[in-house]
Chains A and B, each alone.
Chain A
Amino acid sequence: MASVDLSVQLAGLRLQSPILVASGTFGYGTEYADLVDVSSLGALVTKAVTLEPREGNPPPRICETPAGMLNAIGLQNPGVEAFIAEKLPALREFGVPVIVNIAGADTEEYLRVAERLGSAEGVAALELNVSCPNVKAGGMHCGVREDLLAEVVSAVRPVWPRPLITKLSPNVTDIAALARAAVEAGSDALSLINTLLGMAIDVERRRPVLANVTGGLSGPAIRPVAVRMIWEVARAVSVPLIGMGGIMTGRDALEFILAGATAIAVGTANFVNPDTVAEVRKGLEDYCRRHGIMRIADLVGAAQQSGRQT
């Protein structure tokens, strides 16, 4: 039987597989090197990098929820200089495109991180984190307003010559409007969704579980929301989409692809089952063989053609 072609084109990047890992769930790659065949990934997306080191939020930072988890890490990272010196050399060794997720407290910070990474070797693309719900300054506030989002994207655009991906927040009324704003400002691709803002209360102690009070909800609990948002954004813009939100299996990944995602990312599932990346890959191949599909790219948005309009 002919092998299935899993490669996809993403804003000028040729990815050997449509399977990525979601920012913040895979560290800087080396943490999972014993457990995951990193070289099989379509691309590796790093934990967020900021201009200066950030210590992150006080603990507790995570808690489990029904079929999901809340996190409020608070963008803990060593800063862009230490990232380039200490993390990037090992990341390059994996032989897959490295997408660096960047965050900033204001437009100027995004711009300076992007500039700095522009002169570093081995960064295939940037993912703008305008949707982190867990930091007071920056993060989500600029991802939920079209004007602020456009300001960040158009500031970074001229200093970053390679593919620019904007990661969208789901904590908005109309994600299609934000998607259009990001694309008009110069994004080559969009990734979605970041976590949904949530919270949990310890009823015995009568106080919030997380020290940050609120956190971002991820895991299979959010998948239907994410699939719906890919569906809506795919109808609103024509750039490629990276779909994520609770993908645990190949079947889950197919929902995103059929809704319009060119690539998908495995996030929280990496914590639960480090074999997820391999299992999703096998699931996609099995599905394609079963349905006589030669190229996974042929399935992108396939449900849109037959999908009933809402």
Chain B
Amino acid sequence: MTTSRRATVVAREQVTPLHSRLRLRAPEIAQQAQPGQFVHLRVTQAWDPLLRRPFSVMLADPRGGVIDLLVQVVGRGSEILAAAAPGQSFDLLGPLGTPFPLPPAGSQVILVAGGVGVAPLIFLADALANAPQEYEITGLFGARTASLLCCWLELASRCQEFLAVTEDGSIGEQGLVSEALARRLSAPFPGRRVVYACGPEAMLAAVGRLAAQQPVEAYVSMERWMGCGVGACLGCVVPSALPEGERYLRVCTDGPVFPASAIDWEARSA
């Protein structure tokens, strides 16, 4: 059940010039959250900035009662949050949204992260690494430059294979992470393959198009400006490619995790 609670910052770490990692005491959410779900966080008790901000859960420790969030500074709200000091508290609504469906045992799992989009994939990798089933997990992590590969070790340490991709070639392969995925997918694999992706929309669209041409299941975690976070305001929609149902899907309650085939990538306005 979704709850609204005060959550106290217990630790904050500057992980790149643009990203902070926050650890919050939020026992109910830490208990319930599944990889892919998010919390809707109010950055101030004042009316400006007004709206809550959605953040994917990066890690949850049910025994310790804490969750980790990865915050990229993009505006005033994230600036306030990224600078939060231990002891400060925030209103959290959550856990919200759909989780990543877990792959069948024995699957080859490819995690495709772009920038701050790595957060929910770290949680998923953690769940898969600790699951009783065996998985072969590959992590592909792209960013503009080496210094923006936020929390890369958290992903790499939970994967059997890990590749960093930077646009400027400052570390790992030079290029786009979607190109690295295309090469992986072109190598034949006899078993079941599942791709999970989170990152900028252009990257997700590339993943969606690749997945449509390959015998592979793919799931994407989408991001949108959000109003309510609970499905009421219809502000956070993405265009649907499903043959039935509404033209637009709500990121907050129909997602944020969607089968890549559910999104109409050609209609993207952004």
With known contacts A27-B231, A31-B228, A61–B237 Cβ distance under 8 A? yes
Cross-chain contact of B227 among A55, A62, A66, A274 (Cβ < 8 A): A62
- A297 to nearest B CB, angstroms? 29
Known contacts: A27-B231, A273-B91. The answer to whether A67 contacts B47 by CB under 8 A is: yes
Please give me the 3 A-B residue pairs with the lowest Cβ-Cβ distance, nearest first. Answer: A27-B232, A55-B247, A62-B235
Cβ of A272 to closest chain B Cβ, rounded Å = 6
Which stretch in B8-16, B28-36, B49-57, B121-129 binds the other chain?
A: B49-57
Q: Does A13 contact B (CB under 8 A)?
A: no
Contact of B234 among A34, A76, A273 (CB under 8 A): A76
- A73: chain B residues within 8 A (beta carbon): 233-235
B231-A56 in contact (CB<8A) = no
In the assembled complex, 18 residue pairs joining A and B whose CB atoms fall closer than 8 Å, in A order, are A24-B233, A31-B231, A34-B3, A47-B232, A47-B234, A55-B246, A55-B247, A56-B248, A59-B237, A59-B238, A60-B225, A64-B225, A69-B51, A69-B227, A76-B237, A270-B228, A273-B4, A273-B91
Task: Encode contact with B along A65-79: 1 for CB under 8 Å, 0 otherwise.
Answer: 011110101001010
Interface set, chain A 36-83, CB cutoff 8 A to B = 47, 55-56, 58-64, 66-69, 71, 73, 76, 78
Interface assignment of B48: CB less than 8 Å from any CB of chain A: yes
Beta-carbon nearest neighbor of B225 in chain A: A62
- A contact residues around B228 at 8 Å (CB): 25, 27, 31, 270-271
Is A26 close to B, CB under 8 A? yes
**B225 CB, nearest partner CB in chain A, Å:** 6
A60 near B270 (CB under 8 angstroms)? yes
Interface code B144-156, partner A: CB below 8 Å = 1, 0 otherwise?
0000000000000
Nearest to A63 among chain B residues (CB) is B225
| B2 close to A (CB within 8 Å) | yes
Chain B binding surface, main DSSP class: loop
Q: A58-B269, A59-B270 are in contact. List 15 more A-B contacts (CB 8 A).
A: A24-B233, A26-B232, A31-B230, A31-B253, A55-B246, A59-B269, A60-B224, A61-B237, A62-B235, A62-B236, A69-B227, A71-B235, A73-B235, A271-B51, A271-B232
A211 proximal to B (CB < 8 A):
yes
Decide yes or no whether A86 CB sits under 8 A from chain B: no
Which residue of A56, A62, A219, A274 contacts B93 across the interface (Cβ within 8 Å)? A274
How far is it, in angstroms, between the C-alpha of A93 and the C-alpha of B231 when the chains are bound?
19
Is A35 in the interface zone, CB < 8 Å from B?
yes
A220 within 8 A of B: yes
**When the two chains form the complex, which single residue of B2, B42, B248 contacts A272, counting CB atoms closer than 8 Å?**
B42
Question: Bound state CA distance, A76 and B254, in angstroms?
Answer: 15
Which B residues lie within 8 Å of A63 (CB)? 225
B239 at the interface (CB under 8 A from A): yes
Residues of chain B within 8 A (CB-CB) of A66 are: 48
Residues of B183-237 whose CB lies within 8 A of A = 224-237
Q: How far is the CA of A219 from the CA of B51 in the complex (A)?
A: 10
Identify the interface centre among B235, B239, B248: most chain A CB within 10 Å of its CB: B235
Contacts of A68 in B (CB 8 A): 50
In the complex where A60-B225, A69-B51, A273-B91 touch, is A32 in contact with B230 (Cβ < 8 A)? yes
* Residues on B with beta carbons closer than 8 Å to the beta carbon of A78: 246
Given contacts A59-B224, A63-B225, contact A272 B52 (CB under 8 A): yes
Cα–Cα, bound, A58→B47 (Å): 27
Instruction: List residues of chain B with CB within 8 A of the CB of A27.
Output: 228, 230-233
Q: Which of B22-80 contact A (CB under 8 A)?
A: 42, 47-52
Which residues of chain B have C-beta atoms less than 8 A from A34's C-beta?
1-3, 230
Residues of B within 8 A of A25 (CB): 228, 232-233
A288 to B236 alpha-carbon distance, docked (Å): 39
